[in-house]
Amino acid sequence: RVKESGRNGIQLFSPAMAEDARNKLTRIEELRHAVERDEFLLHYQPQKDIRTGKVIGVEALVRWQHPDEGLLPPGAFIPLAEETGLIVSIGDMVLQKACRQARAWQDRGLPPLRIAVNVSARQFLESSLTDQVASALRSANLDPEWLELELTESLIMRDVAGAIERMQELKKLGVSLAIDDFGTGYSSLSTLRRFPLSRLKIDRSFIAEIPDKPGDMAITSAIVSLGRTLELEVVAEGVETEEQARFLEQAGCEMFQGYLFAKPLPASEIESLIARLSGKAD
Ligand code: C2E
Ligand code: MG
Ligand code: MG
Ligand code: MG
């Protein structure tokens, strides 16, 4: 934005902007170091089957253990990681860690959990994602059926034909694919059915104001029936109240993820949560 000041009333580069630019450069340097030192870790948010109450999967959500600032959420660094391309290395680490964790849980005798990993635009479009995924599965010795990749609706709608090709490549590895933040883009039924998908995740923004916004409830129900038509499982994101969960169950939604059930948790807490649910002591 242009600031008003100076001789001609316009200053293109203010001291505040110089400060911002410096901060950004510092942040980029820190992020580079973080990649070198592997300062990233994953939290896992359980996905619950609405009818059986069982946890059938978890979503891996990255955090940055910043040396001075503590644990930073993805919103604080993923956009910059995308911009600089560092997301490709970060995403690779995320895949490796997620696959290793899924395998470790299986080895410790937990009921097998599907693990969902978010894939950003840059990862999907620019890097050899297929090789990264294959290598993460191989080195963790994880059966691909337990890995799901989440792609956002806006990402796959940018270039439908290209996305389909890319998704088929991934599909061939044996992993499953989900559309994240669904409902915010403009996918038509005819486009959607061309994608090799297993799941739709209803965007949190539609769930947040249930039951106050009848329009959002109508959209949510419509997405659930769309899922049924296309034989896709539907997961609701961001479920925070019992009322929302009840509405989703009535609408026929199979699964949900949200603070009502659990926040994203460190791996060890997922383990005790599942032990509790299956009636065993932690
Ligand atoms: P997302 O994939 O849509 O993940 C869901 C986000 O909603 C998570 O935020 C989660 O903590 C939050 N959430 C879940 N349930 C609730 C709820 O009931 N209420 C509220 N208010 N929020 C809820 P988080 O962990 O901050 O992640 C934000 C976004 O960052 C993710 O959105 C995803 O787009 C991105 N992200 C996270 N991890 C990765 C990653 O490893 N790679 C990439 N490329 N992106 C990631
Ligand atoms: Mg996601
Ligand atoms: Mg989402
Ligand atoms: Mg999101």
Transcribe 196-229 into DSSP letters.
--SEEEE-HHHHHTTTT-HHHHHHHHHHHHHHHH
Rounded CA-CA distance 50/235 in Å is: 10
Express each pLDDT in 215-244 by its tens digit.
999 999 999 999 999 999 999 999 999 999
Please report the atom of ligand 1 found closest to the CA of residue 82. 44
Instruction: Work out the mean pLDDT of the chain and round it to a whole number.
Output: 92
Interface ipTM:
0.97
Closest residue by Cα to atom 11, ligand 1, is 264
% of the chain with per-residue pLDDT over 70: 95
Expressed in angstroms and rounded, the spacing between residue 123 Cα and the centre of ligand 3 is: 17
Mean pLDDT, residues 55-63: 97
Q: Is the peptide bond before 211 cis (omega within 30 degrees of 0)?
A: yes
The yes-or-no verdict on residue 40 having pLDDT over 90 is: yes
pLDDT of residue 281: 46
Rounded CA-CA distance 65/276 in Å is: 28
Rounded CA-CA distance 163/169 in Å is: 10
Query: What beta strand segments (E) does the chain contain?
Result: 40-49, 55-66, 70-72, 114-118, 147-152, 176-182, 199-202, 233-237, 255-257
Of 41, 78, 80, 210, the one to substitute when testing ligand 1's pocket (max ligand atoms within 8 A of C-beta) is 78
The amino acid present at 129, given as its one-letter code, is L
Which residues contact ligand 1 via a Cβ below 6 A? 45, 61-62, 73-75, 78, 87, 91, 94, 118, 120, 150, 180-181, 204, 237-240, 257-259, 264
Which DSSP symbol is given to 167?
A: H
Q: Give, for 171, the enclosing helix (H) or strand (E).
A: helix 160-172
Closest residue by Cα to atom 12, ligand 1, is 238
pLDDT of residue 182: 94
pTM assigned to the model: 0.93
Tokens 């065993």 locate to 280
Judged by DSSP in three states, 258 sits in coil
Q: Give, for 100, the enclosing helix (H) or strand (E).
A: helix 87-107
Express each pLDDT in 246-256 by its tens digit.
999 999 999 99
pLDDT of residue 10: 65
pLDDT of residue 21: 82
**Contact status, residue 253 vs residue 271, Cβ threshold 8 Å:** no
The yes-or-no verdict on residue 3 having pLDDT over 70 is: no
**Exposed / middle / buried, residue 15 (Cβ in 10 Å: 0-12, 13-18, 19+):** exposed
